[in-house]
Amino acid sequence: MPGASIRRAKSTKAAVIMTNTLHEFLAAPFAEASRQRHYAAVRHALRTDDTGPVTLLLGNLALEAGGPALDAVVVRPHSITLLLLVPHGGQLSIPALSYGTWKLDNTPLPTTWEADNPFEQFQRQKEALAAWLAPQLSAEQANLQFISGVVVFEGPITFGPEVETQLASTPGTSGFQLLPEASQLPRRLRQLARPDIDLTEADLTQWARDLADDDATGGNSEVSGHPAPVAAEPASPLRRLWQWLGAHDVPDDAPYGYDAQAVAARSAEKEELEHVRHQLQADLNEQMRALQAREAEREQHIAELRAQLTQAPAAPAEAAAIQARLAAESREKALIEEAMAASRAESAARNAELDAKIAQLGQLIQQLNTQPAATLPTATPAAPVTTGPAAPKPAAHPTYPAGPGTSAKPTLAGALAPARAGFERLRQWQRRLPRLAVAAGALALVGLGGWGLHQAFSASPPQPFQENGKWGFTTGAAEPLVPARYASATEFREGFAVVEADKAFGLVNENGEEVVKPAYDALNPYAGEYARVRIGDAYTFLDRNGQEFNAYFFNALDFAEGYAAVLDHRGWYYIEGPAEEDPAKPPVIFREAYSFQQGLARVRLADGYTFITPDYLRDPTTGTGPFGRYTAATDFTDGRARVTQQGRTFFIDTDGDEVK
């Protein structure tokens, strides 16, 4: 944009999709499946608006690291609009607009940003967004006082008699509107256009390109327009190789020359990267075949429904039902086409990025081969770098798992259920590449000194302690069990503690050993036999040996009572462990699924919420009795769950009976 380049917000892992009229920047998938589905409906409405101007859609956008996210922001030449997504419908009641809680079917409407209701949430988000945009937009381009807001319900929605009165009588609501469904959004945006926002289509296109460039280079630029850092002295080829591998903590204290073992290791890494590229392409091809099969199935269903519609009797109810099914199938087909286009675009971007890195690594290897010989430091000899999915465990630490978190590369075969998970694993490759032995040896020399005295002198597990802003573990002895070298550390739970280093997370056991080296974007402690981890935007689990499952998911909950709820392209379902899915017995799919508590789990089916036992997972024909269907439900707490049925909210016990 003129005068400044707006980049992505802090700490995001984003997908940028550009079409003729819609440029999309999704910072990260939504944690809730219902909200992700609602966002997809918004995107579809904007993408199919053939008469609309160039539009930039920013999704799930956190304006600062660790801060709350905005559901969506839509930028058009004459409007900047905050979207608050409510993936529910029902009867809306508003006791007061500027304070108090809104209700849907007499159930309080949840909000974020520490706000009581969506209007207060919009006001806080508007202030934060204006501050975020102010350094980037001139007064001639946008008067940020006129940022508008739309609460988009998933519908169907009906408004109580007081809603219109509150909207009309409360000051400052001219730019704040309620929308029953996403399909009406393009028309509402045209109504919200104002001359006070005066961006050109070229501005929006350039903004989208900046976001795409930043995403492609893995940048994490601030949006405040700070000056670029001063350029450093040119680095040696080996130094640049270390920096490319992410080893920025290796000190610049001695010249390094040619080392045949290091060159061989780098060559092996280059071959491994090429293997990863081929593997990702194969996984993408498999995913595309699955999507194409689903698209063909949708087309067949659409054709059958159209045939039924032409042959249907004159009964309006039956014809309307067929029309509704036809519309649903058409929407599903459109979403599949979007997914295919996104997968192709992202694959092309990731392949280009990987090709560039392979070429760069080849050039550095060539320079290393031609560098004059010099004496290497004697502190730690360079060790061969183990690569490949079948790499053995390092001999120096026999308790380390072979897989994620060790010197072995993460296993890719059989993973990447969604194609995006594979791309995000590639994005983490730089973090996971093994560093040279000097870096590893330096850490080892620091850590080994304190590992001689450990749990034998204390019956309680080691405790975390902080020193100079870093964390370690102590047993109360003179020397710490693990010196303070981690950015964060948790207390021990089920024999393990979560530690953070270089913005990645791993596990330490009670002997002070890194049984899973820090390599994950998020890691939860063990719940039963398995620990939940996140790699980019994909979730999976580790067993007690630190081995990853072979399946990756869009979302997942911790294991509870032997089951974990997970989400893939089919919907939510439950798994019991790392066993491969039996094609002859596919899992029971839910629209939403939650953790088991005292033998019951809350789920959402096509006709509403209910509760199930593990028996239902084995045989759905057993039904969900004694529980009925509810328009809303909570988990059981102290033997009671709050449910809404036929407009009435009440409590039930674990037998499905109403209680006071």
Say if residue 193 is in the same domain as residue 279. Answer: no
Say if residue 196 is in the same domain as residue 324. Answer: no
- Asked whether the predicted pLDDT for residue 405 surpasses 60, the reply is no
pLDDT at 536: 87
Say if residue 382 is in the same domain as residue 256. Answer: yes
Question: Is 167 part of a structural domain of the chain?
Answer: yes
Q: Is 412 helix (H, G, I), strand (E, B) or coil?
A: coil
Whole-structure pTM value: 0.37
CATH number at residue 645: 2.40.10
pLDDT at 84: 95
Say if residue 193 is in the same domain as residue 268. Answer: no
pLDDT at 216: 52
Say if residue 314 is in the same domain as residue 418. Answer: yes
Say if residue 196 is in the same domain as residue 301. Answer: no
Burial 196-218 (b: 16+ CB within 10 A, else e): ebebeeebbeebbebbbebbeee
Of 401, 416, 432, the residue that ends a domain is 432
Question: Is 449 part of a structural domain of the chain?
Answer: no
Average of per-residue pLDDT across 504-527: 93
Alpha-carbon distance 48 to 51, whole Å?
Answer: 9
Alpha-carbon distance 442 to 467, whole Å?
Answer: 19
Say if residue 199 is in the same domain as residue 257. Answer: no
Q: Count of alpha carbons within 13 Å of 461, Cβ hemisphere only? A: 13
Of 181, 216, 251, the residue that ends a domain is 216
Alpha-carbon distance 118 to 59, whole Å?
Answer: 18
**pLDDT 10s digits, 571-587:** 999 999 999 888 889 99
**pLDDT 10s digits, 29-55:** 888 888 898 999 999 999 888 788 899
| Dihedral angle computed from the Cα positions of residues 185, 189, 191 and 193, in that order, rounded to the nearest 10 degrees | 180
pLDDT band at 265 (very low <50, low <70, confident <90, very high): low
**pLDDT 10s digits, 206-240:** 887 777 665 554 443 333 233 232 333 334 433 34
Alpha-carbon distance 76 to 83, whole Å?
Answer: 13
Question: Is 620 part of a structural domain of the chain?
Answer: yes
Counted domains in the chain: 3
Domain that holds residue 95: 15-216
Question: Is 491 part of a structural domain of the chain?
Answer: no
Say if residue 197 is in the same domain as residue 273. Answer: no
**pLDDT 10s digits, 173-210:** 778 999 998 989 998 998 888 888 889 888 888 887 77
- Asked whether the predicted pLDDT for residue 86 surpasses 70, the reply is yes
pLDDT band at 638 (very low <50, low <70, confident <90, very high): confident
Tell me which of 421 and 127 has the higher pLDDT. 127
- Asked whether the predicted pLDDT for residue 425 surpasses 70, the reply is no
pLDDT band at 402 (very low <50, low <70, confident <90, very high): very low
- Using CA atoms, how far residue 643 sits from 103, 134, 624, 647, in Å, is 14, 45, 15, 10
pLDDT band at 342 (very low <50, low <70, confident <90, very high): confident
Alpha-carbon distance 440 to 247, whole Å?
Answer: 10
Alpha-carbon distance 181 to 75, whole Å?
Answer: 19
260-311 vs 316-370: helix axis angle to the nearest 10? Answer: 170
Tell me which of 323 and 154 has the higher pLDDT. 154
59 burial type by CB count under 10 A (0-12 exposed, 13-18 middle, 19+ buried): buried
Of these ranges, 108-122, 257-271, 504-518, the one predicted with the greatest mean pLDDT is 504-518
DSSP annotation of 655: T
Say if residue 244 is in the same domain as residue 202. Answer: no
Alpha-carbon distance 646 to 376, whole Å?
Answer: 77
pLDDT at 368: 56
pLDDT band at 548 (very low <50, low <70, confident <90, very high): very high
**DSSP H stretches of helix in 77-223:** 118-133, 161-169, 185-192, 201-216
- Provide DSSP, 225-293: -PPPPPPPPPPPHHHHHHHHTT-TTS---S-----HHHHHHHHHHHHHHHHHHHHHHHHHHHHHHHHHH
**pLDDT 10s digits, 447-475:** 444 444 444 444 588 999 999 989 999 98
- Asked whether the predicted pLDDT for residue 257 surpasses 70, the reply is no
Which of 47, 41, 398, 7 shows the shortest CA–CA distance to 210?
7
Q: Is 69 helix (H, G, I), strand (E, B) or coil?
A: strand
Question: Is 475 part of a structural domain of the chain?
Answer: no
DSSP annotation of 146: G
Alpha-carbon distance 535 to 167, whole Å?
Answer: 44
pLDDT band at 434 (very low <50, low <70, confident <90, very high): very low
SS3 content of the chain, % helix, strand, coil (to 5): 35, 25, 45
Average of per-residue pLDDT across 264-275: 64
pLDDT band at 530 (very low <50, low <70, confident <90, very high): very high
The single-letter code of the amino acid at 504 is A
Alpha-carbon distance 383 to 440, whole Å?
Answer: 10
- Using CA atoms, how far residue 311 sits from 183, 302, 315, 318, 565, in Å, is 29, 14, 11, 11, 42
- Asked whether the predicted pLDDT for residue 509 surpasses 70, the reply is yes
Say if residue 257 is in the same domain as residue 147. Answer: no
